[in-house]
Structure 1
Amino acid sequence: MLGGMKVQEIIIRPVKEDELYRLWELSLKEDYPEWKKWDAPFEPYTSMTYEQFIQKKDYFMNQEDFWGIYVNDDLVGSLCYYWEHEASLWLEMGILIYDPMFWNSGIGTKALKMWIDHLFHEMPLIRVGFTTWSGNERMVKVGEKLGMTMEARMRKCRLHNGVYYDSIRMGLLREEWEEQNESFT
């Protein structure tokens, strides 16, 4: 149960054109969205009108590196990846659950597990990882639940609201993922 709502299905897939308005509402409509307090709040963020957003629709729609997270067929978040260094297959990933109603529900952990499965299945990757900050304790816990290792902790390099936080890089090797998931294959 999630706030009185039964979670029936969590799926991840590319975003479709008829879902762009909802994606905009969740991600870039508000000047100060709640999710931005946790997703690199030390980085600049600018809301935009739907007209501005739709001009960038090709970035969000039917992409391999940007997918939606759906709960009971409703878009609630997004997943992405980017190449830190493509020649050595160094890929970093990210996740956002936009609506706080869906936080602390396990949806992010399940969606990120599905994303990691997808990335390892579709690409010849050796490792996947993400970077977060010590102020986002939920993201660090998700990484730990998924068997990731804290590979780096750069101390006091993220300044937010007058406080210094650590930058944290977590990663997972293909063989570690396969070993911990072999009973499920």
Structure 2
Amino acid sequence: MIIKKDQIILRDLQIEDIDDYVRWYTTDTEWMNWDAPWECKDGIKIDEMMTNIKRRINQGTNKSRSRLEVCLESGKHIGWVTSYFINGDPKKVAVGIDIPEVCYRSQGNGRIALECWIDYLFAERGLLRQYTQTWSGNLQMMNLAKRLGFQEIERRIGIREIRGDKYDAITYEITKERLFEFR
């Protein structure tokens, strides 16, 4: 599967992506400061990660995706988009994005990628609304959510502790109609 808009391509995982994931989880780990930093990401077993990536590739892609890779037109692999169920509820689909390649942030790449991903999920799954979740210290994600038209629907005060400081957990919601209003 390939989704393309402007300079961004969303595509399925490829074997060539393994090197990027190894680097992102071992040396270029700055992105971990923003993507749920309260979750322990220490001790990543590279062999296990490579096995899991190969297994995902071999499983095929004849179903609705829950993750796609983010690339530039040039082919440069810069991150991924994901979806998950909030509290296991299949009616509450949340989206997320990671751009570990720092030099490709703040250029509109994340906005285009996440917009394409949201469009795909609305079309593929027939959703009425989608969600995204972040924490109050992740200002880039908060700003991206607002630029796309997400509205804050829940804020849990001070429940995230990151590097000794307390932050809020925030949930945003968007409807298909509202997404198109913000284009």
TM-score by length of 2: 0.84
Identity of paired residues, percent? Answer: 25
Report deviation, 1:126: 1.1
Equivalent residues of 2:81, 2:97 under 8 A apart:
yes
Question: How many pairs does the alignment contain?
Answer: 170
Report deviation, 1:29: 2.6
Query: What CA deviation, in whole Å up to 9, does each residue of 1:31-65 have, x standing for no partner?
Result: x7101111111111125354221221256535511
**Aligned counterparts, 1:99-138, within 5 A:** 99-138=101-140
Summarize the Cα distance change of 1:140–1:60 in structure 2 as closer, same or farther, 3 Å threshold. farther
Name the counterpart of 2:3. Answer: none
More displaced stretch, 9-18 vs 171-180: 171-180
Residues 1:29 and 2:41 are matched in the alignment = no
Q: Secondary structure at the match of 1:114?
A: helix
Summarize the Cα distance change of 1:169–1:160 in structure 2 as closer, same or farther, 3 Å threshold. same
CA RMSD of aligned residues (A): 1.9
Letter in 1 for 2:115: K
Name the counterpart of 1:41. Answer: 37
TM-score by length of 1: 0.83
Report deviation, 1:70: 0.1
Residues 1:93 and 2:91 are matched in the alignment = no
Report deviation, 1:122: 1.0
Name the counterpart of 1:54. Answer: 50
Q: Secondary structure at the match of 1:42?
A: coil
Name the counterpart of 1:152. Answer: 154
Summarize the Cα distance change of 1:112–1:42 in structure 2 as closer, same or farther, 3 Å threshold. same
Structure 2: tracts of 5 or more residues without a match: 1-5
Q: Secondary structure at the match of 1:56?
A: helix
Equivalent residues of 2:10, 2:71 under 8 A apart:
yes
Name the counterpart of 1:17. Answer: 15
CA separation in 1, counterparts of 2:94 and 2:68? 14
Name the counterpart of 1:165. Answer: 167
Residues 1:69 and 2:70 are matched in the alignment = yes
Summarize the Cα distance change of 1:69–1:60 in structure 2 as closer, same or farther, 3 Å threshold. farther
Structure 1: tracts of 5 or more residues without a match: 1-7
